[in-house]
Structure 1
């Protein structure tokens, strides 16, 4: 065994005299200090390298400049963005204006009269001139959101699992087996029935939706089930009652539903005579800001996995004060007009506008006569608004017995044959746009087995991503209104019978049911939201 003290003495030429003990003690002390410094340097370097891999420094710094910081306090494990999602490039603002409106603070204003057809108010200026809400409507306050720790880098975990499930679903849909026969699906109605069936099946197996409980009533969580804007109310009702797709744990959700009603916003926040929808936009901006401050889920994708369902004509315009809501969120709206730069085909969803007269029996009086018992070539009756309807009347009102085109159905005619009976007795039902591109007549025509004739440029038709509208409808350009009868007469009798048969088979996909039924309107809307969300992912 080596005697280190003697070895040191030999190296230094010392014998081991009386003073040797002092020198040896000094050298041992120096060696101890040196070894301690070396160990500190070694472990410090190791920790620094480990920290570099775990938390990279800002892009404008180098490893040499990186300063090891103490670990931040633990945050909720689900605040990290999942795989494929990225936090916003800038941190959330220190102050976010949010509404503190409560039912007692929302003064009701008269809702628009809902007459027989298209009772819509004239278009307003989306950004009204400097409107300030009156004190009784929507007080706006400033709330400071809680401080949020910096998000760690993406990791595979609970959050990432939802993305991985959607990517898996898209791969499965891309490889959908060919469907030769399905008793529940009529292939001629679809662009590709095999893809639709596989996508619907994957939706049933995978999709989970979280519904925010936030939001004051009656603006949120209060569905209206009648009138021409009933689609948003029926979807809200059935979604909030659903137990198959809805989850209480938001960390398991693939989509997040903003449960507000555009009709209720119009009824309670619009200031009569102001011609400004600014109060509605302010509410939505503050509502989304409050959710993004309270929960981490909006900020993970800047709203791209959130959706709203709104049927009022103004629904698209009222998103303009919140950039992420307007650009990123999936907007399920009746006013699906691509020319205005708000509705985005392939991301947003065209909501079928359904006129529900009897909420307790939404399927009342549906059905119509067979093709052989339809004596009227084309029929329309409705209020005159928008750019298309006056042109339609100018060319066809009272000029042709086959073309029953009216501004309002005259009393003497209505006494003999009601509006609904006219639709049930006509081969084609004319569905011109009003103030906006959408019209409840499209679904009414389907209910009464009448082939819809759609006149509205730039209109994205409901469920166009899966349905083949050419199989059961006629789309006429606005400029071709003078040739309308010629176009309709150009459809052969055999083709018409086939189209009307398709309309009758299509009807079940546009029906509301008290309890949702497979492939009905509720499921078709949800499927379009699911399908368009999958467009976000690339394989």
Structure 2
């Protein structure tokens, strides 16, 4: 592949264009001396304020880009401004430092028109439903110090396209039939304006696929498998909630398994009322869809009949607190529970995994072959129980044995605040939180970065 040449003196070009755009005079001054005097005065003041900005915001003395790189002809002059201003207004001192293993990682966030992201925020659910990690990661990156405004120094390129915020008016669930065309449109836009996608064939570009079967973009597994991952995404990195330990067409791209989104504010509010070490008067808890008849209207077996078995076998057991109706305050029930059932639904993962851990309830994972997020940070075998789908009818006996043996040890491990932190997305990256864990995982895949690969090759040549 031909080497992409870096435009010379691009910083000077950016500065020149910005100054001409903002400060060009509509009419020429009659007096040459007066015109010269104004420009000298303006340039001096600008240099003073610009230097002050660099000193105060760049203590390490590294040159900093002056402004966001924009997609030419985009409808929005400043991408993500609505997102930044509405939910992510940040003072300079709030921008989190990511020292250590993330110190040299650089991520460029594409400046896409708002139809790809911020327009969807008009529906408040877009910010906080279980698929909202696509929004959370975007807004956290905007103020993270791994972000670079210079795409030529970037290791990775983040593509902020929200595909799970198109809620069906019929049932209120996300309708993601538009996902493939929306993402394809975004790729076409920035690849036609910039060289970065084409030079690496997208291998250093990052997308979020936070719904049931990830980058297959369908909620039913058989249809998702038939559709597969779009060809243009197969060389990229997918951040997805879907993950299994066996071969599956919906993870046939480089991927990082991430947790589903749970509002950290809601968790904090619940913990203020009921701390994790507080009294727990519910032995086994589950609230959610449990079908009395295994086949639903689609003709498919929901949850592979696991939830139906749970309802049939244990609804009459007073130790099992099972509820099929929705309840807005269900997190308070989790905080009162010893064991929280986390059975598969259509897909193996569930937001209950995060809520149980965050609220100190031992997650009982019933989803064969599930691949869990951030195993290097979350010691899943030490904080949870795994029950095979075929053994769901033996739940009572299994949990009795655990309660009589090592429950206290599991709870001590579970209540470590670092575990909770690793599964929650914050508005700003905090060391150890979910976005930080994503960046850590990306730092281990730098062989996919065009820039990092070039630097490595150059070091080999030099030595």
Per the TM superposition, whether the score is higher than 0.5 is yes
SS of equivalent residue, structure 2 residue 395 = helix
Q: CA deviation at 1:78?
A: 7.2
Q: 2: distance between equivalents of 1:277 and 1:227? A: 14
Q: Is the 8 A contact 1:262 1:315 kept in 2?
A: no
Specify the alignment match of 1:196 in structure 2: none
SS of equivalent residue, structure 2 residue 250 = coil
Alignment pair present for 1:332 and 2:200: no
Alignment pair present for 1:405 and 2:314: no
| Residues 446-468 of structure 1, C-alpha deviations (whole Å, 9 max, x = no match) | 22111111111232111124432
Specify the alignment match of 2:133 in structure 1: 231
SS of equivalent residue, structure 2 residue 178 = helix
Q: Measured at CA, do residues 241 and 431 of structure 1 come closer, stay the same or move farther in structure 2, by a change above 3 Å?
A: same
Q: Is the 8 A contact 1:393 1:407 kept in 2?
A: no
Q: 1: distance between equivalents of 2:363 and 2:378? A: 14
Specify the alignment match of 1:287 in structure 2: 186
| Residues 103-132 of structure 1, C-alpha deviations (whole Å, 9 max, x = no match) | 9xxxxxxxxxxxxxxxxxxxxxxxxxxxxx
Pick the aligned partner of 1:460 from 371, 383, 393. 371
Q: Measured at CA, do residues 535 and 425 of structure 1 come closer, stay the same or move farther in structure 2, by a change above 3 Å?
A: farther
Q: CA deviation at 1:493?
A: 4.9
SS of equivalent residue, structure 2 residue 271 = coil
Alignment pair present for 1:343 and 2:251: yes
Specify the alignment match of 1:364 in structure 2: 269
Specify the alignment match of 1:441 in structure 2: 352
Alignment pair present for 1:251 and 2:144: no
Q: Is the 8 A contact 2:213 2:347 kept in 1?
A: no
Equivalence map 1:37-76=2 (5 Å): 76=5
Q: CA deviation at 1:517?
A: 2.1
SS of equivalent residue, structure 1 residue 491 = helix
Pick the aligned partner of 2:430 from 507, 513, 517. 517
Specify the alignment match of 2:420 in structure 1: 507
Q: Which has the higher helix share?
A: 2
Q: Measured at CA, do residues 376 and 75 of structure 1 come closer, stay the same or move farther in structure 2, by a change above 3 Å?
A: closer
Q: 2: distance between equivalents of 1:456 and 1:488? A: 17
| Residues 396-437 of structure 1, C-alpha deviations (whole Å, 9 max, x = no match) | 222x1222223227x9xx9xxx53332112111111121212
| Residues 363-396 of structure 1, C-alpha deviations (whole Å, 9 max, x = no match) | 3223645668323321101123532322322222
Q: Unaligned 5+ residue runs, structure 1?
A: 1-54, 56-71, 80-99, 104-199
TM-score (norm 2): 0.63
Q: Measured at CA, do residues 395 and 207 of structure 1 come closer, stay the same or move farther in structure 2, by a change above 3 Å?
A: same
TM-score (norm 1): 0.55
Q: Is the 8 A contact 2:216 2:229 kept in 1?
A: no
Q: CA deviation at 1:513?
A: 3.5
Specify the alignment match of 2:308 in structure 1: 390
Q: Measured at CA, do residues 339 and 379 of structure 1 come closer, stay the same or move farther in structure 2, by a change above 3 Å?
A: farther
Equivalence map 1:78-227=2 (5 Å): 202-219=100-117, 224-227=126-129
- Which runs of at least 4 in structure 1 moved beyond 6 Å after TM superposition? 100-103, 270-273, 535-539
Q: Which range moves more in the overlay, 418-427 or 466-475?
A: 418-427
SS of equivalent residue, structure 1 residue 303 = coil
Specify the alignment match of 1:374 in structure 2: 280
Q: Measured at CA, do residues 78 and 389 of structure 1 come closer, stay the same or move farther in structure 2, by a change above 3 Å?
A: farther
Q: Is the 8 A contact 2:116 2:186 kept in 1?
A: no
Alignment pair present for 1:355 and 2:355: no
Specify the alignment match of 1:420 in structure 2: 331
Specify the alignment match of 2:28 in structure 1: none
SS of equivalent residue, structure 2 residue 303 = coil
